[in-house]
Amino acid sequence: MPDSVSPDSAQSVSTPPASWWRRRLVQPLLNLLRQGLTPHQLALTVALGSACGLIPLLGITTLLATFGAVRLRLNVAATLLIAHLWSPVQLLLIIPLLRQGARLWGDHAPALTLDKLRYLFNHDWLAALGLLWHAIAGALLLWAGAFAVLGPVLYLILRPVLRRVLRESVKSQSAV
């Protein structure tokens, strides 16, 4: 019968074509991010991107994430995406980390306040730079200590999860 429609052709007809946005932008981006990553590499990418994205020093996130991804042979685009997704959290954490970094030196550095910085920049800009130097060095030390612990923990948690997710993704693609 020519008028009858098989179930397979009915399903293919009812599926709407992908939009231009999805075909030209979303799908190539997803393919770029997934390209050839093992669960080990993907977990390492997330850990490295998170560490670079939360560094308490503005302006070096891209450089640090790119260098780390190239050095470890990871997907640079995925590492940069993860690092920059942490930007709002980085901005929230930078002031507390700078304050704690200034306190880390004990009596060597005075407390970091905005009024003190304004006064110092107006009267003694070398002292202001010294105060900021101590605060930044202490904040970087706190950040490095935190990610020396949290980085491996994040990696060890994500690796089995991503292994399971990628395994299920392969099964679903082979079933189709």
Six token digits for residue 31: 């393919």
CB-count exposure of residue 44 (10 Å: 0-12, 13-18, 19+): buried
Could you tell me which of 114, 112, 115, 119 has the C-alpha nearest to residue 138?
112
Six token digits for residue 125: 């800009």
Q: Over 90: is that where the pLDDT of 129 sits?
A: no
Could you tell me which of 152, 170, 161 has the C-alpha nearest to residue 34?
170
What is the pLDDT, as a whole number, of residue 110? 63
What is the C-alpha to C-alpha distance for residues 57 and 77, in angstroms, rounded to an integer?
Answer: 21
Residues 6+ apart with CB under 8 A from 98: 56, 112, 135, 136, 138, 139
What is the C-alpha to C-alpha distance for residues 23 and 112, in angstroms, rounded to an integer?
Answer: 51
Lowest mean pLDDT among 76-80, 97-101, 105-109: 105-109
What is the pLDDT, as a whole number, of residue 123? 87
Of 113 and 1, which is predicted with more confidence? 113
Average pLDDT rounded to a whole number, residues 83-93: 94
pTM of the model: 0.72
Domain chopping of the chain, boundaries: 7-175
pLDDT band at 154 (very low <50, low <70, confident <90, very high): very high
Question: Quick check: 44 and 74 in contact, CB under 8 A?
Answer: yes
Average pLDDT rounded to a whole number, residues 69-94: 93
Could you tell me which of 108, 93, 51 has the C-alpha nearest to residue 74?
51
Q: Over 70: is that where the pLDDT of 25 sits?
A: no
Compute the mean pLDDT over every residue in the chain, rounded to the nearest whole number. Answer: 82
pLDDT band at 45 (very low <50, low <70, confident <90, very high): very high
